[in-house]
C-alpha cells in the first residue's frame, strides 16, 4: 500500500481571497514504512504574504522570488502522488488550496481525481474526542519529538505527521502479539538470564476455543481497525 503524507504552507487562510500555495512537502510510506522518497518544492505565489501567515512559517516573498510557479511543477507533483492515499492533517484546508491552484491553470481535474484522502484531524477527533488535536498536541500525546519545529514547514510537518499517523493507527501493534522469541528476563543483578524450561511431565494446557459471539466480536474489531487505518496486520498473517 502506497501512502503520501502531505502538507502545504500558504500566503493566507482562504484561497477564495486569492491566497496561494508557497510550499508543498510530501513523504512516501510504502506498507507503513518510510521509503525515503519525498517531494518538496517552494513556490513563487506572485503576490504578498499576510503577516499572520509569515509569523507561522517564516517564508518571505523575497525568499520565494526566484522559485518556480505552480504551473512549472504541477505535472511532477501529480505524478508523485498519483494513485496513492494522501494523509493530511486538516485535509479540507490543503485540498482547497491545491484545487484552487489547479483551477487557476484552467484544469478540470481536482485532487480527488488523483488520490484518496485520509484526514488525520478527523481521525484524531474520533480517537480523542473533546481533546486538543493539533499536530503539536498529538506529538505530545504520542511522545513524538518535534523539538526541531520552531516554525511550520511543509516537509518537516509532513515528516512529523508520518510519525503521528503511524502512532495513531498502530494500536494493533500494542496487542502484545509478537512472533519473535521473548526477551530473556533480567536477573536481580541486572543481567539477562535464560528462561526456565517447563518440565516435560507438566500437563498440557487446556485450549479454550472462542464462542461464535466472541469470534464475531473479534472480526468486527479487526474490520473497524481496517476501516479506520486502511490497514490491519492481522489480515496479512
Q: How far is CA 22 from CA 64, 73, 109, 182, 233, in A?
A: 8, 12, 20, 50, 38
Contact 6, 87 (CB under 8 A): yes
Q: At what angle do helices 154-168 and 120-127 cross, to 10 degrees?
A: 40
Distance between CA 149 and CA 142 in Å, rounded? 16
40 carries an active-site annotation? no
- Select which of 114, 152, 226, 231 is catalytic: 152
Contact 162, 170 (CB under 8 A): no
Q: Which residues are catalytic?
A: 152
Amino acid at each position: 500500500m502506497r501512502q503520501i503524507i502531505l502538507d502545504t504552507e500558504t500566503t493566507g487562510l482562504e484561497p477564495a481571497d486569492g491566497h496561494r500555495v508557497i510550499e508543498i512537502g510530501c513523504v512516501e510510506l510504502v506498507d507503513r514504512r518510510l521509503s525515503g522518497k519525498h517531494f518538496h518544492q517552494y513556490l513563487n505565489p506572485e503576490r504578498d504574504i499576510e503577516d499572520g501567515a509569515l509569523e507561522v512559517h517564516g517564508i518571505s516573498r523575497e525568499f520565494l522570488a526566484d522559485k518556480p510557479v505552480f504551473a512549472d511543477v504541477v505535472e511532477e507533483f501529480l505524478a508523485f502522488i498519483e494513485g496513492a492515499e494522501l494523509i493530511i492533517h486538516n485535509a479540507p484546508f490543503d485540498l482547497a488550496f491545491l484545487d484552487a491552484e489547479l483551477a487557476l491553470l484552467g484544469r478540470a481535474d481536482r485532487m480527488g481525481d488523483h488520490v484518496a484522502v485520509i484526514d488525520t484531524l478527523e481521525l484524531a477527533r474520533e480517537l480523542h474526542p473533546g481533546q486538543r488535536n493539533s499536530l503539536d498536541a498529538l506529538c505530545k500525546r504520542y511522545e513524538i519529538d518535534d523539538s526541531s519545529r520552531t516554525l511550520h514547514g511543509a516537509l518537516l510537518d509532513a515528516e512529523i505527521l508520518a510519525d503521528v499517523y503511524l502512532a495513531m493507527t498502530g494500536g494493533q501493534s500494542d496487542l502484545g502479539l509478537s512472533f519473535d522469541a521473548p526477551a530473556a528476563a533480567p536477573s536481580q543483578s541486572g543481567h539477562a538470564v535464560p528462561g526456565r524450561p517447563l518440565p516435560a511431565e507438566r500437563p498440557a494446557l487446556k485450549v479454550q476455543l472462542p464462542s461464535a459471539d466472541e469470534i464475531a466480536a473479534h472480526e468486527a474489531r479487526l474490520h473497524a481497525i481496517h476501516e479506520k487505518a486502511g490497514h490491519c496486520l492481522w489480515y496479512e498473517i
